Amino acid sequence: MATSNGKIHGSYLATKDGTKIYFKDWGPKDGQPIVFSHGWPLTGDAFEDQMLFLSERGFRTIAHDRRGNGRSTQVWDGHDMDHFADDLAELTEALDLKKAIHVGHSTGGGEVARYIGRHGTARVAKAVLIGAVPPIMLKTDWHPNGLPMKVFDDIRAGVRNDRATFYKNLSMAFYGFNKPGAKVSEGLRESFVLQGLMGSIKAEYDTVKAFSETDFRADLAKFDVPTLVMHGDADQIVPFEAAGKLTASLVKGAKLKVYPGQPHGMCSTIKDAINEDLLSFVRGG
C-alpha cells in the first residue's frame, strides 16, 4: 500500500524523511483500530498483553516502535515530540485508520497528546493516557510540583554511563518491585532491559529531554474526544499529582481513573484490571 505520506512494506512504514517505523498490526482488519504508543525506553512489545486481549475481542490493534527504538531505524536525530507525533500521523494515514482509539503510556502519552495537538482528531474517536508525562514533567514556574532537572540529568548520566545496569535498576521502581512485599518478576525485569537495549543510545538519551521538558498544555486544550486518564497513585516514575491528576483537569470532559497503590508499569503488573478497564472504555463505558 502506498500513500502520499509514506509507504508500507510488510511491517514497516517508510516516512517522508526516510525513517523506517516498525509496527505490529493484529486482529481483524475490519475491527475498530486501537493504536498504542509505548513508553521510554521500551518498544511496542510493552503493550502485547493489551493487544492480545483486545484483538481477541474483535479490535484491530496496532503498536509501533518509536523512531530510534526497537526495530525502527536508528536515526541520528528527530527524537522530539513533533517528530514522534508526525511519524504517528503518517502511520495512521498510510493504514487509513478511521475512528481510531489512541492509547499512550508514559512518553507515549505525550506522543498521543502532541499528535492530537498537531494533527487534530479527524481520525480519532477516543484517547487514553496511562501514567502519561503531560502536562510537563519538569519543575517550572507554572508547574511547581514537577521534578527538578537533576532527576533528568541523572537519567541521562545512567544511559550514557552503563545503560544496561541503569535499565535493570530502573525496572524495580518502574514496576513497583521495590515496595515492601512486592512479588518481583525477574522475567519482566529482563524484558524491560532487553527492550531498552534494542533502541539506540542516542535516541534514548535525546528522548529524555523530549519527555521531561515538553509543555503539552496547548495540545491538551485541543482534545475534543472522550478521554480516559489512568494513573497509579504510587507511580514512582511519573508522579500522579503532577501528571495524571493535572492532565485530567486540563482535558475537557476527561474521565480520571486512579489505581491505588499501583506503579508506573501497571499495564504489566495488573494487566487483567487494565485490560478490562480499557475494554469498558473503548466499548463506550
Predicted pLDDT of residue 3: 42
- Contact by Cβ (8 Å): 112, 127: yes
Angle at which helix 271-282 crosses helix 48-55, to 10 degrees, equals 50
Determine contact, residues 38/46, Cβ cutoff 8 Å: yes
Which residues form the domain of 261? Answer: 2-282
Q: Cell 480519532 appears where?
A: 124
- For the chain (285 residues), the mean pLDDT of every run of 10, in chain order, is 62 96 98 98 98 98 98 97 98 98 98 98 98 98 97 98 98 98 97 98 98 98 98 98 98 98 98 98 88
Distance, CA of 143 to CA of 194 (rounded, Å): 34
pTM of the complete model beyond 0.85: yes
**Secondary structure of residue 54 in the 3-state scheme:** helix
| Peptide bond connecting 239 to the previous residue in cis, omega within 30 degrees of 0 | no
HSE value, Cβ hemisphere, 13 Å, CA-based, for 276? 3
Q: What angle do CA 124, 110, 16 make, to 5 degrees?
A: 70
Assign residue 258 the CATH number of its domain: 3.40.50.1820
Q: Please give the positions annotated as active site.
A: 106, 235, 264
Task: Report which residue type is found at 148.
Answer: P
User: Could you write out the DSSP letters of every residue in 173-224?
Assistant: HHTTTTSTT----HHHHHHHHHHHHHS-HHHHHHHHHHHHH---HHHHTT--
Q: Give pLDDT, residue 275.
A: 98
Structural domain total, the chain: 1
Crossing angle of helices 107-119 and 201-213, in 10° steps, is 70
Strands ordered across the beta sheet of 60-64: 2-3, 6-9, 12-14, 20-26, 60-64, 33-37, 100-105, 124-130, 227-232, 255-259
Check residue 1 and give its pLDDT. Answer: 36
Instruction: Say if CB 176 and CB 234 are below 8 A apart.
Output: yes
Q: Among residues 81, 98, 74, 99, which one has the least CA distance to residue 21?
A: 74
The rounded distance, in Å, linking the Cα atoms of 64 and 52 is 15
DSSP 3-state assignment of 62? strand
**C-alpha cell of residue 153:** 540529568
Instruction: Return the pLDDT at 285.
Output: 61
Return the SS3 of 21. Answer: strand
Residues constituting the chain: 285
